[in-house]
Amino acid sequence: MYYLQNWRADVVALVSDAAAQIEQVRYSAYGVPYNLPAGDVLSTYGSADFTDYLQLATWYGASSYDARGDLDLDGDVDASDLSAFTSNNANEHA
């Protein structure tokens, strides 16, 4: 696992050895961190839900690229990103 940092040395993301995003961390205006799991493409403060999946599916069918939907960080939004969303969030609401 790799820790990615911003210019202030805050840890802002975790990426696996296979270059797949595990989660992101964002910070409020007061420096309070909150996690964004892989698949929380609409940045709803730690919840990757059906709305996020629908947005991801929309980007999958679009001709333009949006990095928020590229969960496996391979340069495109494709079926492997939909699969990554499903596997990362399989136990989210169990």
Nearest-10 Cα torsion for 67, 48, 6, 2: -90
pLDDT for 4-19, tens place per residue? 898 888 888 888 888 7
Q: Which two tokens stand for residue 20?
A: 């797949």
pLDDT for 12-66, tens place per residue? 888 888 877 777 787 888 888 777 667 777 776 667 788 888 998 999 988 888 8
Phi, psi of 24 (to 5 degrees): -120, 155
pLDDT for 59-94, tens place per residue? 998 888 888 888 887 888 999 888 888 877 665 544
Q: What does the pLDDT read at residue 72?
A: 80
Q: Which residue has the tokens 């964004």?
A: 36
Q: Where are the domains of the chain?
A: 2-88
